Amino acid sequence: MFQGLLDFLQTTGFALITWKMVIMWGIAALLLWLAVAKGFEPRLLVPIAFGALIANLPTRGVITSELKPNGVYESATFKIEGQVIPHPGDSTTPGAHEGTTQTLKVEKVEGGLFDFISQGIKLELFPPLIFLGVGALTDFGPLIAMPRTLFLGAAAQFGLFITFMGATFLGFNSSEAASIGIIGGADGPTAIFTTNKLAPHLLGAVAVAAYSYMSLVPLIQPPIMRLLTTDKERRIRMKSLRKVSKLEKLIFACVVMAICILLVPDASALIAMLMLGNFFRECGVTERLVLASQNEIINVLTIFLGTSVGITMRADSFLAPATIKIIILGVIAFGFSTAAGVVVAKIMNILSPKNPVNPLIGSAGVSAVPMAARVSHVEGQKYDKGNYLMMHAMGPNVAGVIGTAVAAGYFISTLGK
């Protein structure tokens, strides 16, 4: 009987626990505390943290990981066993196998739960589909009413490129540096999309950094905004936005998609789904599709995306010096993006003094919609209670989403294999 118990204990997971796993449990607990108790982007950090916990338990039937010869763990792989069914008459004809299709009879598929769910990231399905929901939730009206705020969204991408250089100096190669730099865009789906294409082994660290800093926007941005603006500039009141018609919004969706895809085809998936979702929203005749995009689709995919990203946070790959560097570089990316947006707003005021822009809205060029816009509004209110910057700040805020997608397309087109 005792031997039977010993035999059973050998089948349990206790013998497989390592000290690195225990550390990861602590990190997962910290992320859960930040998400649940402190409200740090809970919709993403809860599934990410839970996925990290799952990844660091000796599970069976959940995820498959194998160590490649280059020392990188590749996870979410599954096996298919099957037989090729020959077509009648193929074997006798010379050269018949060249360019001919073959039929595979699948007999067995082996893989864990997240080996299949994670294909949504590997096959780059989840981020563009989440962008469908983002487009359905976003009102581009303030941007259309004040098109020059597009340049504030473009300026905020400066942080991406500065961080790219910093990451290169710290020893990362170009693909890894691009994946780290994209954190500065403050756009989770774009960061995951880019990292999955260029440096999938950094996915866990980049996603955690991106979503953590997105929730820290109200803490990171205000000191930079105050440092770069004068009291008089913070009190600038902007002209009211004009009313934007439905036709303008529909034209906007089509034109933006065409321009961005023509310029950076590698960003097609993100931009096309963003604008499709927005077209659904603005046309007014696809109410059910809008509701589905804004609710069911984005919520279900958020669960799968978050847990799939968390599952990549194995102790072996996450507990590395590179993770600390990514976390530090992430905050640098945010800081530079914020500063660049504010500085370009000040430059716009020099060039167009008769129609000034409150520089505080420049910081909203990072894509954390609508948190960054709210931060600009709250900062402006501290100096002038009657100054409502929220809708003005939404212009650069949503422009930043487009700008980050374009920057991601540039990185992928130049660095992708």
How many CB atoms are closer than 10 A to CB 82? 12
- The answer to the question of residue 252 lying near other proteins (CB under 8 A) is yes
User: Cα separation of 101 and 103, whole Å?
Assistant: 7
- The answer to the question of residue 256 lying near other proteins (CB under 8 A) is yes
* CB of 76 or CB of 369, closer to other proteins: 369
Minimum distance, C-beta of residue 1 to other proteins, in the bound complex (Å): 59
- The answer to the question of residue 48 lying near other proteins (CB under 8 A) is no
How many CB atoms are closer than 10 A to CB 321? 9
- The answer to the question of residue 245 lying near other proteins (CB under 8 A) is yes
- The answer to the question of residue 72 lying near other proteins (CB under 8 A) is no
DSSP per residue over 34-51, as a string?
Answer: HHHTS-SSHHHHHHHHHH
Among residues 151, 193, 280, 336, which is the contact residue for other proteins, using CB under 8 A? 151
CB of 344 closer than 8 Å to CB of 152? yes
User: Cα separation of 366 and 368, whole Å?
Assistant: 6
DSSP H/E element including 234:
helix 231-234
User: Cα separation of 136 and 13, whole Å?
Assistant: 44
* CB of 31 or CB of 371, closer to other proteins: 371
User: Cα separation of 229 and 359, whole Å?
Assistant: 7
Binding track over 379-408 against other proteins, x by CB under 8 A:
---------------x----x--xx--xx-
Minimum distance, C-beta of residue 175 to other proteins, in the bound complex (Å): 6
- The answer to the question of residue 153 lying near other proteins (CB under 8 A) is yes
Minimum distance, C-beta of residue 169 to other proteins, in the bound complex (Å): 9
- The answer to the question of residue 339 lying near other proteins (CB under 8 A) is no
CB of 193 closer than 8 Å to CB of 375? no
* CB of 47 or CB of 111, closer to other proteins: 47
- The answer to the question of residue 74 lying near other proteins (CB under 8 A) is no
Q: Which of the ranges 87-95, 121-129, 259-267, 316-324 carries the binding residues for other proteins, by CB under 8 A?
A: 259-267
Instruction: For tokens 């696809």, name the residue.
Output: 286
What contacts 75, CB < 8 A, 6 or more positions away?
63, 64, 65, 115, 118, 311, 312, 314
User: Cα separation of 388 and 113, whole Å?
Assistant: 48
Reported as half-sphere exposure (CB side, CA atoms, 13 A), residue 64 has a value of 14
Among residues 27, 162, 238, 393, which is the contact residue for other proteins, using CB under 8 A? 162
Minimum distance, C-beta of residue 303 to other proteins, in the bound complex (Å): 16
- The answer to the question of residue 343 lying near other proteins (CB under 8 A) is no
* CB of 20 or CB of 148, closer to other proteins: 148
Binding track over 183-222 against other proteins, x by CB under 8 A:
----------------------------------------
User: Cα separation of 323 and 34, whole Å?
Assistant: 18
**Dihedral sign, Cα of residue 276, residue 280, residue 286, residue 288:** positive
Q: Which of the ranges 17-25, 57-65, 255-263, 351-359 carries the binding residues for other proteins, by CB under 8 A?
A: 255-263
- The answer to the question of residue 85 lying near other proteins (CB under 8 A) is no
- The answer to the question of residue 273 lying near other proteins (CB under 8 A) is no
User: Cα separation of 297 and 125, whole Å?
Assistant: 12
Question: Which residues here bind other proteins, judged by CB under 8 A?
Answer: 134, 137-139, 143-145, 147-148, 150-151, 153-154, 157-158, 160-162, 164-165, 168, 173-175, 242-245, 247-248, 251-252, 255-256, 259-260, 263-264, 369-370, 394, 399, 402-403, 406-407, 410-411, 413-416
